[in-house]
Amino acid sequence: MKKTFLTALLSLSIALQFTYAQGVLEQKNDPFFGESCTSIMVGKKATTDGSVITSHTCDGRYRTWLTVEKAQEFDKNATHKVYKGTLKTETAYDQRKMKLVGEIDQVESTFAYLNTAYPCLNEKQLAIGETTFVGPEELVNENGMFLIEELERIALQRCTTARDAIQLIGKLIKKHGYGDWGECITIADKKEVWQMEILGEGPDKIGGVWAAQRIPDDHIGISANISRIGKLDLKNSDYFMASDNVFKAAKDLKRWDGKKEFKFWEVYGGVDKPFKIREFFILNHFAPSLKLDFEADELPFSVKPDNKISVKDVMAMYRETYEGTKYDMTQNLKVIKKKYNDKKEVIGQDTITAPNAHPWPNGHTRNLSNFLKEGSIEYQRTVAVSWCSYSFVTQLRDWLPDEIGGVAWFSFDNPGQSPRIPIYAGATELPESFNYCGQKRFRADATIWAYRKANKLATLAWQDTREEMMADVAHFENKGFEDGAILENKIAKLIKEGKKDEARKLLNQYTRDFTGATILRWKELENKYWGKFGLGF
């Protein structure tokens, strides 16, 4: 009798674990809600080497474990299980707070893909970035089957082009329903990159509305937690796509009278204008000749950069904190530094940035500074933030074999401080420490903490530590491109010779070695900072 009771209790406990998942509407309580991602896109004619680029910062307490999911084959009766609650698990086997919400027909075969919190790259050089733009709460239907991360997953498993991915996602939404907040996914392949924005149709309608717009090949685009798509020229299918209900739903929901000019961001986005500081800063940075105005009612959806953009340029933008501009949060944090002669007599003084000033002050620091002197720190949402889980800049190249044509330059923790690790589309394994998330608690076996400890220590005396840390970031960035070019030649030769297994092993080893080198250096920095600041910061 006792054994039966314990068995029943255990079964109930397991059942509860599988049935409880954070509701979509509960996400409003997350302090990072609506400020959690930045995605930059660059067309192939706007890049220095002809690459297509998409990218993503996953800002907030999202999982940091990642795996390479293998390609698979299935029989005709197989189904694909759809879950909610996958974004904040601790390992690939952690099913706490996950919920099985449905099944769909499986396909005969799937592609291998890089399984990040928001799945991002497959073996065929299809890549996806993501940003949540929220939208009006009255459009959310929690009963819709699909959250955005699961739509990304299925697209990467089944598609090779951005256009096919958009069409597939549209069909899945129409049939099974979209159950998330307003989301933008930036979908790129070897030829082009698109921005797709998706919302629900309200709590009483299983379905959804969406629009997609292509970034012109010679342009750069940006999505940063705000709806950006405006007018829809659906006759121009080379640049626009949308759900078949995009206009009707707007009327039914009384969001558009059918007379006023239709702009997707205005009708569905729930915002006064389709940009904030990040969109303005990034577009203006790459196209200063346009003299964009932050006070304008609207900015262009995308812009032609004044100069062609390299992958390194995009990486640099992800380190951006607006230093030296009127948006710099350290600009008022000054101290007096006195100059002395050999007799220790004061012979002059300079006004310098305070040694402990850094561009990622939390609320407590801002409140204290502003209490002491009002207006000392005016908060700005920087591109690089200290609460970032991970980020990547994905480079796609049609002149190389898929195995090396696609590469995700991956970074843990603050992208303004951490090095980037190259993960190629042909990789089949990742370092062991990538299997563990470090967001729920400190875990020495989770990769993110190998960087986070040194990063956080560095900010306590940033003006003294930044030069060295940035030099190390630059060293590994240069190393990645220089060594990568040699590696890619080797891999291309192996593939041409039909030695694909050998090529994949070499790719796996390269990522492991590169990761190990960066972890070792960041551990050295951590130890150095403890030694330097052991008596106080």
Cα diameter, the chain: 89
3-state helix, strand, coil in the chain (%, to 5): 35, 20, 45
Q: What are phi and psi of 54, to 5 degrees?
A: -130, 165
Q: What is the pLDDT of residue 22?
A: 58
Mean pLDDT of 127-148: 96
Q: What is the pLDDT of residues 240-287, one digit of tens each?
A: 999 999 999 999 999 999 999 999 999 999 999 999 999 999 999 999
Residue 20 has pLDDT above 60, yes or no: no
Residue 4 has pLDDT above 50, yes or no: no
Mean pLDDT of 108-133: 98
Q: What is the pLDDT of residues 32-62, one digit of tens each?
A: 676 789 999 999 999 999 999 999 999 999 9
Q: What is the pLDDT of residue 1?
A: 40
Residue 15 has pLDDT above 50, yes or no: no
Q: What is the pLDDT of residues 313-351, one digit of tens each?
A: 999 999 999 999 999 999 999 999 999 999 898 899 999
Residue 493 has pLDDT above 80, yes or no: yes
Q: What is the pLDDT of residue 3?
A: 43
- Contact at 8 Å (CB) between 198 and 179? no
- Contact at 8 Å (CB) between 54 and 193? yes
Tell me the CA distances in angstroms from 165 to 158, 170, 519, 524, one per residue in order.
8, 9, 36, 43
> Pairing mode, if any, of strands 209-215 and 240-242?
antiparallel
The amino acid that residue 96 corresponds to is R
Q: What is the pLDDT of residue 534?
A: 84
Domain coordinates in residue numbering, the chain: 24-34+70-213+229-301, 334-372
Residue 17 has pLDDT above 60, yes or no: no
If you search the block for the tokens 């710099």, which residue do you land on? 328
Q: What is the pLDDT of residue 31?
A: 66
* Token pair listed for 307: 């100069």
With a pLDDT cut of 70, the percent of the chain lying above it is: 95
CA–CA dist 310, 478 (Å, integer): 13
The alpha-helical segments, DSSP class H, found in 253-336 are 264-268, 277-286, 311-317
With a pLDDT cut of 90, the percent of the chain lying above it is: 90
What is the number of residues in the chain? 537
Residue 384 has pLDDT above 90, yes or no: yes
**497 CB contacts (<8 Å, ≥6 apart)?**
none
Residue 294 has pLDDT above 70, yes or no: yes
Mean pLDDT of 485-513: 98
Q: What is the pLDDT of residue 533?
A: 87
Q: Which residues of 253-292 are buried (b: 16+ CB within 10 A; e: fewer)?
A: bebbeeeeebbbbbbbbbbeebbbebbbbbbbbbbeeeeb
Instruction: Give the chain's mean pLDDT.
Output: 94
Q: What is the pLDDT of residue 26?
A: 74
Q: What is the pLDDT of residues 396-429, one digit of tens each?
A: 999 999 999 999 999 999 999 999 999 999 999 9
H-run or E-run covering 495: helix 462-496
* Token pair listed for 367: 């409140």
Q: What is the pLDDT of residues 174-185, one digit of tens each?
A: 999 999 999 999
Q: What is the pLDDT of residues 441-475, one digit of tens each?
A: 999 999 999 999 999 999 999 999 999 999 999 99
Q: Tell me the pLDDT band of 10, cut-offs 50, 70 and 90.
A: very low
CA–CA dist 234, 474 (Å, integer): 44
Mean pLDDT of 216-244: 98
Residue 280, SS3 per DSSP: helix
Mean pLDDT of 212-241: 98
